[in-house]
Chains A and B, each alone.
Chain A
Amino acid sequence: MKEVKGLNTVLGAAGLAAFLALGEAVPRLGLVKADYFPPTSRIARALGTELADKAFWSALGDTLTGWAVGLAVAVGAGIVAGVVISVVPHLREATASTIEFLRPIPSVALIPLAILLYGTELRSVLLLVVYASFWQVLIQVMYGVQDVDPVAEETARSYGLGTWARVRHVLWPTALPYVMTGVRLAAAVALILTITAELVIGAPGLGQQIAVAQASQAVPDMYALIVVTGLLGLVINVGARSVERRALAWHQSVRGEVAV
């Protein structure tokens, strides 16, 4: 297991190095103009300048705030709504068509509404982030609840467990792996929407910095900031996976991985 993991890390690093080398070579060979797609080294230098800039760090803070608050609201609301919809009789059937209608609406289509309601503040970012990531959690929770073993459910009933106790001891452990998948998906979607909202609406954050760099004809800076958003996504994904592994340490999907 350890060896495989080590090999994976080496392979991952090699892949990244090859990608960076390609980014350096393509403009240098003249395949694309360095003015519009700067080589990796030039982007790295611009990244260095950004890291020394106070405005960058406050933008990063704004982006992370929008992401974290939006994700927390979406996860909280998604879990509660998912459980309630699944537990209350007939509610699932009654809401199914509405959910299927609302879910495919792209969050970015709500940008005009967000501007009208909240201008370019954090709240308009949150509107988009919560709308997009809420469904990821909700749908997973509903699948998870559906997966409850009827025998376990009946057993709990015959032992006289109340609704809350059944939610707590039967439904929740079954749904948790699904919930964690939903949270992981939502974490990525929330980041994408945070950056998009900042970029398009102009709310403070990394997205706005990208827009400013774009408008200023500062091409290397723009790519440097885009690289930062990519790194942020990477960190968030790794973080979400480790949370998932811990929360589900008892679950066979995680235990199985360790046993092999």
Chain B
Amino acid sequence: MRRLLAGLATGTFLLATAACGSSGSSSSTSPSSGGTTTVKVGIIPIVDVAPLYLGQKEGFFSKRGLKLSMTLAQGGAAIVPGVTSGQFQFGFSNMTSLMIAQSSNVPVQAIANGVASTGVAGKDFGGLVVKKGSSITSPKQLEGKKVAVNTLKNINETAVRESVRKAGGDPDKVQFVELAFDQMPAALDKGQIDAAMAVEPALATMKLQGATEIASPLVDVAENLTVAMYFTSTSYAQKNPGVVTKFQAAVAESLSYADAHPDEVRQIVTTYTKTPADVLAKVTLPKWPAEANRSSIETLEKLSEQDGLFKTAPDLDKLLP
């Protein structure tokens, strides 16, 4: 036994040193084999990224010599540091986070469209809901009420504030609380919050439980709002313009394909999420235009600036493709 323990100890030490020795070299290079470049993409396991999975399946990436290695990052907080430190070559992030990053000089660059609002009020993939039987029927009535958003001072808070403003209310009187999407149904049901700004599949779950949608905040922000984009680090874009161009083209093709094949989207979503079938059937799919909508991003920027999200205004010319 003692000998075994001693052996174990030496073995682990060798392992530890070996692990340390390799840590510096492997992170920066993108491994390639036989003309295929493998790129790591940091994503969140939600419906929004379905086009990447579909595109991979349909061969839109492989025919351009790209192979995607999806890395699921919970909540997305790990994606921006992961991309800037070179752990991922590409990442998926909402526009507000990208603009905040850019305005604080984090070297990121949006390169391809990610996901857009449907632009149809009441039929969007994000919605502001109240509990079944609630007396609140308009965002204006949220003054003095508790509204849950997944992240404070980010895209969903900006959007809800705009809905309140458009309905004639004062957004500063709304009490925003931070709550993960998956916890919103229970919190709304128990009355811990008065309203929730949720995206799919939490939105469909709440609607199945009888919650009422009182606004489509992402639609209220701007027509056909670009909600999220794929991005890379400025240094990766400079060093690998070829890979970036191929990725852009493959993503654009995947987005168009996903937009035209909603049934295949619902099917592929089951391969990387565990969304229950009854919820998935009710999920409102987003729009996947091939190109980002710059004017909608400018509107979002103006609203975010008004709400005090930036210390200095982001440079959209530098950020956007």
Which chain A residues have a beta carbon within 8 Å of chain B's beta carbons? Answer: 33, 35-36, 69, 72-73, 75-77, 79-80, 112, 115-121, 123, 126, 172, 176, 199-202, 204, 208, 211-218, 221, 246-247
Contacts and interface: CB of A to CB of B under 8 A. Distances in A.
Contacts of A215: 44-46, 74, 181-182, 273
Given A76-B11, A201-B73, A216-B45, A172 B2 contact: yes
B211 to A, nearest CB: 12
Contacts of B27: 118-119
A204 B72 CA distance: 8
B74 A119 contact: no
B274 interface: yes
29 contacts: A33-B189, A35-B189, A36-B185, A36-B186, A73-B15, A75-B9, A77-B13, A80-B13, A115-B81, A118-B23, A118-B27, A119-B42, A119-B85, A126-B19, A202-B71, A208-B72, A212-B274, A214-B182, A215-B181, A215-B273, A216-B45, A216-B201, A216-B274, A217-B201, A217-B276, A217-B279, A218-B275, A221-B274, A247-B5
Q: How large is the interface on B (under 10, 10 to 19, 20 to 34, 35 or more residues)?
A: 35 or more
3 nearest A-B residue pairs (beta carbon): A119-B87, A76-B12, A218-B274
A35 B211 CA distance: 14
B16 A217 contact: no
Nearest to A120: B71
A142 B40 CA distance: 43
B87 A120 contact: yes
B260 interface: no
Nearest to A36: B186
Contacts of A172: 2
A77 B20 CA distance: 14
Contacts of B186: 33, 35-36
B224 to A, nearest CB: 25
B171 interface: no
Contacts of A208: 72, 74
A76 B13 CA distance: 6
Contacts of A201: 73-74, 78
B127 to A, nearest CB: 15
Interface string B276-319: 10010000000000000000000000000000000000000000
Contacts of A115: 78, 81-82, 85, 87
Nearest to B85: A116
A121 B185 CA distance: 32
B292 to A, nearest CB: 25
B240 interface: no
B8 interface: yes
A255 to B, nearest CB: 15
A164 to B, nearest CB: 12
Given A119-B88, A202-B73, A217 B78 contact: no
Given A115-B81, A116-B85, A120-B71, 7 more contacts: A72-B8, A76-B12, A119-B78, A212-B274, A215-B182, A216-B201, A218-B276
A138 B88 CA distance: 35
Nearest to B87: A119
A202 B13 CA distance: 27
Interface in B160-213: 180-182, 185-186, 189, 201-202, 204-205, 209
Contacts of B87: 115, 118-121
B74 A202 contact: yes
Nearest to B204: A217
A35 B279 contact: no
Contacts of B16: 73, 76-77
Contact of A212 (B23, B72, B279): B72
B279 to A, nearest CB: 6
B185 A217 contact: yes
A121 B273 CA distance: 20
Contact of B45 (A73, A212, A247): A212
Interface string B1-29: 11001001111110110010001000100
Nearest to B271: A55
Nearest to B201: A217
B217 to A, nearest CB: 20
Interface in B37-88: 40, 42, 44-46, 71-74, 78, 81-82, 85, 87-88
Contact of B12 (A75, A121, A211, A218): A75
Contacts of B181: 215
Contacts of A211: 45, 72, 74
